[in-house]
A = this chain, B = another copy of it.
């Protein structure tokens, strides 16, 4: 499949330049893959996130007042270097420290922790949270043992971002993020794997008519492959897995995020969202916030993921509902 690009090694850079044309409130640091708010509120703790490209609009689309202060990009599915992350930390630090959101992947952790260590040595107070919302664990396959950071990361961006905007200290942001991150879970499915721009084959093979449950966002296979029956059947499996994770009681309050992993049509996304909500309604859950769209994609993967967050503290919902200028929220 041809990709609508020019030279492959310029894809990320040209994507960033294109995106910034539609968002003059954002700026790029020199020609680095670091994008920051031009007008940073200097009295608030700034937030940084980042990682490999290929998950657009994550994270660039979430830079805005009330969400991220800056995002740092790597190449497709490869995290930025520690040096680039350090540069972003230095840029946004205005005296009250920096809070960093990292997705739970080995290479990401390594790069971010190196940068955070270095920043602290330079005297910049840095706290961070590791986003680990993935619940598609299969003990038979080692590479899936890790709770990867998936679309639930975006709820951290939004809620912690609004909290920072409201004036919370670095320590309080850490407490909030820790409490939040243990109440967020994500699981998804795909009918077609992602394919690198210009690659001849997708990252894993899935026969026509088959669905893979529990796929990752870097072409990792899921825990089970079944023939497609209906959107309702998919919703049923997803809700069962989330129920096992949360062991919820009737009447409990949740936030729901349905994430389009790339190339599912809006029509299908709406049908599936309707099915998920009907099942959660049957379970007696109160969904106080529902959102659907493209947040954390995986190139051209055709799939959807479902993120739930149990609302343990009503202030989480208040932060979630605060306004933000981030273009992709």
The interface of chain A, by Cβ under 8 A from chain B, is: 1-6, 11-12, 14-19, 21-22, 53-54, 56-57, 61, 76, 191-192, 197, 208-209, 211, 228, 230-232, 234, 262-275, 277, 290-292, 294, 297, 299-300, 304
Contact = CB atoms under 8 A, between A and B. Distances in A.
Main secondary structure of the interface of A (DSSP, over half): mixed
A18 B274 contact: yes
A36 B272 CA distance: 22
Contacts of A56: 265-267, 270
A124 B76 CA distance: 56
Contacts of A300: 263, 265
Contacts of A76: 267
Contacts of A3: 265, 268
Nearest to A7: B230
Contacts of A211: 2
B271 A4 contact: yes
Contacts of A273: 18-19, 21-22
Contacts of A231: 4-6, 14
A93 to B, nearest CB: 28
A267 B11 contact: yes
Contacts of A265: 3, 56, 262-263, 297, 299-300
Given A18-B273, A61-B266, 18 more contacts: A1-B208, A2-B211, A4-B231, A4-B268, A6-B275, A14-B270, A14-B271, A15-B267, A16-B270, A18-B292, A19-B270, A21-B274, A22-B273, A197-B267, A262-B263, A263-B265, A265-B297, A265-B299
